[in-house]
Structure 1
Amino acid sequence: MSDLTYRIVIAVCRLLFRALGLRFEVRGLEHVPTRGAAVLASNHVSFLDFMFVGLAGSDRGRFVRFLAKEPVFHHRPVGTVMRAMGHVPVDRRHGEVALRQAVKKVRAGEVVGVFPEATISRSWTLKDVKRGAAAIAIWEQVPLVPVIVWGGQRIFTAGPRWSLRRGKALTVLVGAPIHPLPDATPDEVTAELRIRLQGLLDEAVSTYPDHPRSHHDRWWLPAAAGGTAPRPEVAADLDAAALARADR
């Protein structure tokens, strides 16, 4: 697989983020393997999360192949670029097809990126974590690496809500990998993954260097952290409404 397109996109992203004055902090990068297959499982707070995780992977010399929603691949030129980068479209009605493609990439020694919450969390808290990432790691006996991205919701997220204000902080935390036993179940490994993700998310929120400028700027903080984001149960209703609109 040629990685020329991926290299070009990485270079463009770096220029874009430099123009936006983003202040990146990446911790735990040593947990991304420099060789061999792995599954990266990240939380999801913005439309740009795959770029942030992908940049972290590239800093270790790895190109992360993400599972992404199929509609993204229907738009040119975005879909053409996504396919050229080796990303995998996911039809939520037939997720097993994407899983098979992800397994093929893992068997080829690739690093596969998964957002196990499936959609952006509108509450900025962890949603239910689906079992696909854990299942791939068990089947292929590869490390499952938890990743947390924080701050991306301030740039471009569901709603849609976006801001080009310069100088925002962006945190990426990479946790120690989970090495699932061959006889482990997806439920067991998924439960452990969620615990690891929650710990990293708590760390990211508590150590994030930026603070709201005013009461109206508290929207990007979870309600439990003093923000005005919808609580998880309200966010779940918003998700359901968005899916219903998409189905129509």
Structure 2
Amino acid sequence: MAEIVYPPVVLAAKTMFRVLDNRLRVTGTEHVPRSGGAVIACNHVSYLDFIFCGLGAQPAKRLVRFMAKKEIFDNRIAGPLMRGMHHISVDRAAGKASYDEAVDRLRSGEVVGVFPEATISRSFTVKPIKSGAVRMAADAGVPVVPMALWGTQRLWTKGRPRTLTKRHVPIHIHAGEPFRPTPDDDPDLLTGQLRTRMQEILDELQAGYPDRPADEDDRWWLPAHLGGTAPTPEEAAELDARGRARD
């Protein structure tokens, strides 16, 4: 398929990050296959994660097709960009069609990106994840690459104002060792293992992160178990439940 939109968007993003000196650090890129289909399963702490997760595959010269909710495609500004980059629209009322499209893309040799937590983690830990990443990889016969990123929540996350022009924010991305599910595997067991690996990678990124909160009010971007004031996983789950009830 023609790539008219995606390369300029990637170039614009890289230029912006250089201007803002976001100190982007990408590691583990040897684990992203240079050819053939693959599922990238990434944690989710920011509205911008699809940009950075995609950049995590750039050293392998791969363009990631993200699964994203239909409402984004319906937006008059974001929609044309999402379609131009050939991302995959997910209609919750017709989820099988989106799943089948993703499997077809994988079988044709593309990289599909998913955020298996489904929504942003307010606790900045890995929430319980859905089994779709493992199941589609098994159906397509491709590997799953666990990935985690850290620092993006400081730019724009749920419940906080956007600070897209904030300078000198380190953004760290790491791709872990892939594994290849098969149709004979227990998808729930493998999904649990995937979540564990994603959290381990996130723990490593958090431990090696060069910045610390500037003051007491700045502790919001750290998880509670690291001394931050982000909600605990239990508190975050309650906040999510209240949000769903309002919707």
TM-score by length of 2: 0.96
Which residue is equivalent to 2:232? 231
Q: Quick one: distance in 2 between partners of 1:233 and 1:20?
A: 35
Give 1:105's aligned amino acid: R
Q: Secondary structure at the match of 1:156?
A: coil
Deviates more, 1:114-123 or 1:84-93: 84-93
Contact 2:103 2:137 in 1 (8 A): no
Which residue is equivalent to 1:19? 19
1:77 is displaced (CA, Å) by: 2.2
Q: Secondary structure at the match of 1:4?
A: coil
1:35 is displaced (CA, Å) by: 0.3
1:60 is displaced (CA, Å) by: 1.2
1:153 is displaced (CA, Å) by: 0.2
Which residue is equivalent to 1:31? 31
Give 1:100's aligned amino acid: D
Unaligned 5+ runs, structure 1: none
Residue identity over aligned pairs, in percent, reads 49
Which residue is equivalent to 2:100? 100
Give 1:167's aligned amino acid: H
Which residue is equivalent to 1:241? 242
Deviates more, 1:74-83 or 1:218-227: 74-83
Contact 2:56 2:174 in 1 (8 A): no
1:8-87 residue pairs with structure 2 within 5 A?
Answer: 8-87=8-87
1:80 is displaced (CA, Å) by: 0.9
1:244 is displaced (CA, Å) by: 3.3
Give 2:138's aligned amino acid: I
Q: Secondary structure at the match of 1:119?
A: coil
1:205 is displaced (CA, Å) by: 0.7
Q: Does 2:220 align with 1:219?
A: yes
Deviates more, 1:174-183 or 1:147-156: 174-183
Which residue is equivalent to 1:158? 158
Q: Quick one: distance in 1 between partners of 2:53 and 2:153?
A: 14
Which residue is equivalent to 2:113? 113
Deviations 1:152-171 (A, max 9, x none): 00001111432232000000
Q: Secondary structure at the match of 1:237?
A: helix
Q: Secondary structure at the match of 1:224?
A: helix
TM-score by length of 1: 0.96
Q: Quick one: distance in 1 between partners of 2:242 and 2:4?
A: 39
Give 2:211's aligned amino acid: D
Give 1:66's aligned amino acid: F
1:172 is displaced (CA, Å) by: 0.1
Deviations 1:205-246 (A, max 9, x none): 10111111001101000000100001111111221232334x
Which residue is equivalent to 1:193? 194
Q: Quick one: distance in 2 between partners of 1:131 and 1:155?
A: 29
1:124-203 residue pairs with structure 2 within 5 A?
Answer: 124-163=124-163, 164-203=165-204
Q: Quick one: distance in 2 between partners of 1:173 and 1:167?
A: 19
Q: Quick one: distance in 2 between partners of 1:243 and 1:58?
A: 35
Deviations 1:114-145 (A, max 9, x none): 00000000010110110000001111121100
Q: Secondary structure at the match of 2:41?
A: strand
Q: Secondary structure at the match of 2:172?
A: strand
Q: Secondary structure at the match of 2:40?
A: strand
- Which runs of at least 4 in structure 1 moved beyond 6 Å after TM superposition? none
Q: Quick one: distance in 2 between partners of 1:202 and 1:72?
A: 30
1:73 is displaced (CA, Å) by: 0.9
1:191 is displaced (CA, Å) by: 1.4
Deviations 1:95-132 (A, max 9, x none): 22221111111111100000000000001011011000
Give 1:123's aligned amino acid: S
Deviations 1:26-75 (A, max 9, x none): 11010001100000000000011100011121221100000012111111
Q: Quick one: distance in 2 between partners of 1:74 and 1:237?
A: 29
